[in-house]
Amino acid sequence: MSLRDRQLAALGGGGGALLVVDVQRSFGDPEMLADFSLSEQAAADVAAAVSRSAELVADARADGVPVYWIELATETPWRASQWLRTGDPDHPIDDGEPCVVGTEGAEWYVLEPRDDEPRFRKTGYSGFLGTGLAERLRADGIRWVSVIGLTTECCILATATDAVQLDWPVFVPRDATAAYAPHLHENALGLLALNVAVIGDADELVALWGGEETS
């Protein structure tokens, strides 16, 4: 049995969860991405990842797999990010800021939580940073997680990395996340595969939830 087969076999017996990260209008709505000048391929990749994420949410619900929603919620300037993006740590929030609370950009896009599914508002990249997500996952008896959403090289990478550092095995379906350039997506998947997660696809993840053979 290969290492990958052993890794996946260890996820059997239930206890998986789906973490949905930042599938919000600021990151997924083509109208709000116009200033990013995405290539035709990149735009198609983002749309496909959003659609696949919606399908995985439906599959998780059908299989009784808990879904946890992680959303960026910008209320005050993030000084380090402002410094990195503008050179000025005291730069105010402007019209280009993503997911500002109370604006359309912060709304979920294409998919959305049910009332009984927990939501975690973050102010940085990782869904675990100051959100209470780790405590909730432990309380719910979650053994391993899958991470989907936007974008691969940023909040997916950060959230998956923190998950494995906090001792949850991680599965990332490559077709349920995307970046704004295909090479960034592939590079991030390479980093994840090296240090953080098993990389597969959405069909393989659904099979894992159902206890099917994936090799």
So where are the chain's domains? 3-210
Under CATH, to which class is 3-210 assigned? alpha beta
Number of H helices, E strands in the chain: 8, 7
Provide CB contacts within 8 A for 58, sequence distance 6+.
Answer: none
Copy the structure tokens of residue 60: 């998780």
Express each pLDDT in 49-107 by its tens digit: 999 999 999 999 999 999 999 999 999 888 998 898 889 899 998 878 899 999 999 99
Q: How far is CA 107 from CA 14, 71, 73, 151, 177, in A?
A: 31, 9, 10, 16, 18
Express each pLDDT in 121-168 by its tens digit: 999 999 999 999 999 999 999 999 999 999 999 999 999 999 999 999
Average pLDDT score, the chain: 95
